[in-house]
Amino acid sequence: MKIRNLTDFASGLLYVIVGVCAAYIASGYTMGTAANMGTGFFPFWLGVFLAAIGVAVCASSVLSGAAREKLASWNWKSLLWVSVSILVFALLFEDAGMVLSIFALVLVSSLASREFRWTGAIANACFLNVVCYSAFVWLLNIPLRVWPDLWF
Partner 1 sequence: MELLQHLATGLTAALTLQNLVYCFIGAFLGTLIGVLPGLGPVATIAMLLPATYTLPPTAALIMLAGIYYGAQYGGSTTAILINIPGESSSVVTAIDGYQMARQGRAGVALFTAGMGSFIAGCIGVLILASFAVPLAEIAFEFGPTEYASLMILGLVGATVLSSGSLLKAMGMVIIGLLLGLVGTDVNGAPRYSFGIQELSDGIGFVAVAMGVFGVAEIIGNLEKDELRGTFVAKVTNMWPTREDTRRMIPAILRGTAVGAFFGILPGAGAAVASFSSYAMEKKISRHSEEFGHGAIEGVAGPESANNAAAQTAFIPLLTLGIPASATMAMMLGAMTIHDIQPGPQVMVSDPALFWGLIVSMWIGNLILIILNLPLIGIWVKLLTVPYRVLYPAILVFCSIGVYTVSNSAFDIYLVCLFGVVGYMFSKLKCEPAPLLLGFILGPLMEENFRRALLLSDGNFSVFLTRPISLVLLVITGILLLSILLPAFRKTREKAFVEV
Interface with partner 1 in residues 86-105 (CB under 8 A): 86-87, 89-91, 93-94, 98, 102, 105
For residue 58, the minimal CB distance to partner 1 (Å) is 10
How buried is residue 54: exposed, middle or buried, by Cβ count under 10 Å (0-12/13-18/19+)?
Answer: buried
Strand locations in the chain, DSSP E?
Answer: none
Cα atoms in the Cβ-side hemisphere of radius 13 Å centred on 109: 15
List 82, 96, 99, 100, residue binding partner 1 (CB under 8 A): 82
**31 near partner 1, rule: CB under 8 A:** no
Decide if 54 contacts 12 (C-beta within 8 A).
Answer: yes
- Please state, in angstroms and rounded to a whole number, the distance separating the CA atoms of residues 136 and 54: 44
Residues 38-57 that bind partner 1 (CB under 8 A): 38-40, 42-43, 46-47, 49-50, 53-54, 56-57
Residues 4-23 that bind partner 1 (CB under 8 A): 7-8, 10-11, 14-15, 18-19, 22
**133 near partner 1, rule: CB under 8 A:** no
